Structure 1
Amino acid sequence: MSVALPPADIARALTRISHEILERNGGSSNLVLLGIPTRGAHLAHRIGTIIQSIESKSVPVGTLDITLHRDDLRLRPPRALMPTKIPPAGIEGKDVILIDDVFFSGRTIRAALDALGEIGRPRTVQLAVLVDRGHRELPIRADYVGKNLPTSLDQSVKVHLTEIDGVDEVLIGSAGSL
């Protein structure tokens, strides 16, 4: 296993993503950040903090539990990771940025879009990911990518964040080694 992104690279990637979000959306006035648990939720809070430092204005941040919308529920028992927490102003007419740690097949994001549809109708939905490792199974793409990390199917990518794991790093290795 090797370190694909050390802490400084993760910080730079999140700062760049934050600037790109602000540029594309003309500021933060209509933004809502929704992190996909577990690590996407923590990344959403970090991006919200960075945007606040740039704009001097807070951005609503929440979490979106996709557990019951997954297409693999029959293969493994459901388990809620974090509850859905939508900011008080809701998502109606807002520019929602879904945030996740690793983008792989696209199935997690499809589930997130289904879950989002049950909550309301945003003006736009955009996707920010720390790592895009390829191997898409659905026609979904990320709008903001911290690092494209091409992998083989027998490799695994693991994101560690200080909030959960005590360290910031992205590891890549053989599927059984992480």
Structure 2
Amino acid sequence: MTRTDREVPQGHPVDPESRIVLGPDDIARALRRIAHEILESNKGAEDLVLLGIPSRGVTLAQRLAVLIEEVEGTAVPVGSLDITLHRDDLRSQPTRTPMRTEIPGCGVDGMVVVLVDDVLYSGRTVRAALDALSDLGRPKAVRLAVLVDRGHRELPIRADHVGKNLPTSHAEKVQVRLRAHDGIEDTVRIAAGPSHVGGR
């Protein structure tokens, strides 16, 4: 599997040939809607845990937690879930450096865990996240929230909460930039790029 646009290091320059499909206001509205959907689905904030998939998924999870607290007046535990050692391309790219998993003190047993990521593509990242989560405990339920669903699934995985369905070709890249992570304005762009085998 080749390196995807979602693994670009922090601070990577924006492709000047790319086009913006979501701006800061669009992203803010999408996250607010996702936060309300999560609360509606869960009938409140009780037993909720948000786990972001590094790297931008963690930033999005933190923003969702703030929005949920604004609505419910209840702080929702937030953490991060490293999937490095559960990826199915680890043999072909064994030099990957594990990131840090941070699980809130409440743990995941008996909780409703919402996995948060920026882009849903083939579904392989989510499969790895489910494997990593199973090592940590037994949640009551697991749901998936993504900012962008770009299609091209290779596994039977579906997001429960989607900010934007964005049909793309394999020959395009989806570039998510978040101010808190990248130091530039929140945007989602589509850029021309080589076809990816596999993906996330």
TM-score range, shorter chain: over 0.9
What residue number does 1:173 align with? 191
What residue number does 1:46 align with? 63
Which of the numbers 72, 76, 82 marks the counterpart of 1:55?
Answer: 72
Question: Aligned equivalents of 1:21 and 1:175: distance in 2?
Answer: 34
Which of the numbers 21, 33, 45 marks the counterpart of 2:50?
Answer: 33
5+ long unaligned stretches in structure 1: none
What residue number does 2:6 align with? none
Task: Give 1:173 deviation, angstroms.
Answer: 1.1
Say whether residues 1:99 and 2:99 are aligned partners.
Answer: no
What residue number does 2:10 align with? none
Task: Give 1:164 deviation, angstroms.
Answer: 1.8
The count of residues paired between Structure 1 and Structure 2 equals 175
Question: Aligned equivalents of 1:79 and 1:130: distance in 2?
Answer: 25
Percent of residue pairs bearing the same amino acid type: 60
What is the 5 A alignment of 1:1-178?
Answer: 1-76=18-93, 77-80=95-98, 82-166=99-183, 167-175=185-193
> Which one-letter code corresponds to 1:168 in the other structure?
D
5+ long unaligned stretches in structure 2: 1-17, 195-200
Per-residue CA distance 1:81-132 (angstroms, 9 max, x = gap): x410000010100000000000000000000000000000000000000000
Question: Aligned equivalents of 1:127 and 1:36: distance in 2?
Answer: 11
Question: Aligned equivalents of 1:14 and 1:4: distance in 2?
Answer: 15
Q: Give the secondary-structure state (helix, strand or coil) at the position aligned to 1:119.
A: coil
Q: Give the secondary-structure state (helix, strand or coil) at the position aligned to 2:135.
A: helix
Question: Aligned equivalents of 2:67 and 2:54: distance in 1?
Answer: 19
Task: Give the TM-score normalised by structure 1.
Answer: 0.97
Large movers: runs of 4+ above 6 Å: none
Q: Give the secondary-structure state (helix, strand or coil) at the position aligned to 1:83.
A: coil
Task: Give the TM-score normalised by structure 2.
Answer: 0.86
Question: Aligned equivalents of 2:97 and 2:118: distance in 1?
Answer: 19
Root mean square deviation of aligned Cα: 0.8
